[in-house]
Structure formats: C-alpha cells, structure tokens
Amino acid sequence: MPVRVLIVDDSALIRKVLTEILSEDPDIEVVGTAGDPYIARNKIKELNPDMITLDVEMPRMDGIAFLRNLMRLRPMPVLMISTLTEKGGPITLEALELGAVDYVPKPTADMHGGLFGIADEIREKVKVVALARVRPLDPARLARASQLESLKTDVMGAEYKHGHIIGIGASTGGTEAIMEVLLQFPPDSPPVMITQHIPAGFSTTYAQRLDKECALRVYEARSGQVIKPGCAYLAPGDDHLEIVRDGVNRTCRLSKTEKVNRHRPSVDVLFDSLAAAQGKNCSVALLTGMGSDGARGLLNLRRQGAHTIAQDQDSCVVWGMPRAAVEMDAAVEVKPLDKVAAALLRAARFG
C-alpha cells in the first residue's frame, strides 16, 4: 500500500510542486492538499492520511499552533517543510519537541527549482516519517524534572573510572531522544560526545537548548576544545566530530572531510575515534534514526571492549540505526530510551 499523504501549505505553487514530486514515487499517494490548518483539520477527518507535510507560516493559524493541537488530539506522523525550518532553528526545535518527526528546509530562492533539487530527499523522508512511531503530546517538563532529581540522588558523587567518556549517536527522532538521556545525567557525570544528524545552522540553537535544560554544560564542539567531566560536546552541523589525544588532554577535532554513510556529521566517525582514543574505557549508545550510520562503529567499539547500547524498537521513533547495530550483534545491551542514561552511567562507574 502506498503512503497516503496530505500536503498542508498556504502556497498554491508549493502544493502543486510537492504533489508533483511525491506523485513520481509509486509508493506515495497524495490524497489531498490544504491551504490552511482549518481546511487541513477537515481533510484529515475526511481522508484519514497516513501522514502530513506541514508549513509553519500559514493564515488563520500558524503551523506550530496546529501541530500542538494535532499531536494532542489526533497524533500522526508530520514532516515539516518550511523556510522557517531553515532560518528559524528555535521554531524547528519547537516543532520536533511537539512531535513532528522530521523536517525539510524549503529553498530560500528559486522555490520551484530548489524543491525539485531535493526531491529525492523529500520522497525518502516522507516514506520514513510515515512509518515513525508517534506518541501523543506529553506535557513532559514536570516528569523530566522529577526523573532528573530521582536519578541525581542515586548517582551524584559516584566514582567514575578515570578518563571514561560517554558517546551518543542519533538521527531521525534524535533531538528529543538525546534530550531525554541528557536530562538524566548529573552535573558531575563523565564527558559526553554527541553526534546527531543535523544541518548547519541548527546545531548552535540545539546545543543552547540542551545547555539550558540539562544539568550538564552542553557545548557546540570546537576544534581543540579540551574535554572535561560534567560537559557534553555536540557535533556542529556539517562537521564531523572526533575525539583525539593531545598530550595529557583529550580534545575535540572537527573536519569537513567526505560524508560517511551520506552524513556529515557521521556517527561512525565519532565512534571510530572513540575506539581509537579510548578503547574499552567508554560507554556508548546508538539511538533512534533511519539508515545504518553508527552501527559499524558500535561494533568496532564492542570489539574493543567498550560497553555498547542500542535503543530498543518500542521506544524508537525510527528503528533503523539501532536495528542495524542489533542485527550485527554490536550492542551489549538493548534498552528502552528511559533506561539508556542509567545504563551508560552504570558502565562508567567503578564496581
């Protein structure tokens, strides 16, 4: 059965172009279009699509307000397609926090030709998003805070192995998954290295959001930055992140070398550097995401003696990368998302 898509955008041109792009794939059927959220609401009831594409700037109700209502009343897979998802990092992150699965930035010039230029990406993301596991909107701030406080009482002041480092990799669905894991880390945890597939321009805002919400200090990594306990380092969009030894210190190294597994930053690049610099003295988790980036690197780490974790299928938005790791026996443990932080920290402790 083809994926049944409803396109929601106030521009008739964009609706026409997206319909043309998606209709070229026999596995996708555009069942309707809507020029504003009120029309979209009625068409969702009438057509029962598998997923929707959603713009942000629309008349009568903006896309974020509509998304909030949709995920509260009728949760379904949503792919954001908007110019604001490119220039407005906070708006993108708000959409993902509210439950949108993924996003595609509209080109800012030559909208018609620009969209056709990324047609393959749009079609691929539509098919992945349609299969994503979507949950109702969670008023989660209070729950997150209580989770953090309860975990702190268990692990605050724990004695960690000297030089231990934690690594995390993720893709689709990963911005919120990483947030959930980091919220459970105490301020004295081992250093954390993170690669999330994210475009340039979003990673700065995302690092700032993590830093604001979490007990750890969270940085967008810089080349030469010394890695310290109580801190997390996020790969910038469009840069690979590696850990390297520099005398007695371990530092971040950024590079714009070729994409790996079609990604820059790549999870495999980070994981391979952890294997080379840390050997078994690290604990590493591969979280939700499409594709297989990170699976081979996780296997390499397991062979080095590191403690490796894959997120389980039920808690993943997209069980792609963790699934690839499980299938190649790269994970020592397979854990639901809410148990990943404790498992990473447990492996970092003495005893």
Per-residue model confidence as pLDDT tens digits over 222-249:
999 999 999 999 999 999 999 999 888 9
pLDDT at 145: 45
Nearest 5°: the CA angle 120, 128, 239 is 70
pLDDT at 143: 53
Are 108 and 83 in contact by the 8 Å Cβ rule? The answer is: yes
Interval 310-318 mean pLDDT: 96
Interval 49-62 mean pLDDT: 92
Per-residue model confidence as pLDDT tens digits over 256-305:
999 999 999 999 999 999 999 999 999 999 999 999 999 999 999 999 99
Quote the CA–CA distance of 201 and 86 in Å, as a whole number: 7
* 3-class secondary structure, 13: helix
Per-residue model confidence as pLDDT tens digits over 123-178:
999 999 999 998 777 665 435 544 544 444 455 556 899 999 999 999 999 999 99
Are 27 and 3 in contact by the 8 Å Cβ rule? The answer is: yes
Are 150 and 342 in contact by the 8 Å Cβ rule? The answer is: no
Say how many CA atoms lie within 13 Å of 201 toward its Cβ: 11
- Own/partner contacts of 123-128, CB < 8 Å, gap of 24 or more, are 123/21, 123/22, 123/24, 123/25, 123/28, 125/79, 126/3, 126/5, 126/22, 126/28, 126/51, 126/53, 126/79, 127/3, 127/25, 127/27, 127/28, 128/101, 128/102, 128/172, 128/290, 128/318, 128/320
Place of tokens 């190294």: 253
pLDDT at 44: 97
Sequence-distant (6+) residues with CB within 8 A of 295 are 286, 321, 322, 324, 325, 327, 328, 330
Percent of the chain clearing pLDDT 70 (strictly above): 91
Q: Which residues are catalytic?
A: 171, 197, 293
CA distances from 114 to 16, 33, 126, 134, 177 (A): 14, 20, 17, 29, 31
Helices (H), the chain: 12-23, 37-47, 63-73, 84-87, 89-98, 111-117, 119-130, 141-155, 174-183, 203-213, 267-278, 295-304, 321-327, 337-348
pLDDT at 154: 52
Tokens of 168: 């995390």
Mean pLDDT, the chain, whole residue set: 91
How deeply is 212 buried, as exposed, middle or buried, from its count of CB atoms within 10 A (0-12, 13-18, 19+)? exposed
pLDDT at 191: 98
pTM, two decimal places? 0.91
How deeply is 32 buried, as exposed, middle or buried, from its count of CB atoms within 10 A (0-12, 13-18, 19+)? buried
Dihedral over alpha carbons 19, 64, 129, 115 (to 10 degrees): 40
Query: Residue 351: which pLDDT band, with cuts at 50, 70 and 90?
Result: low
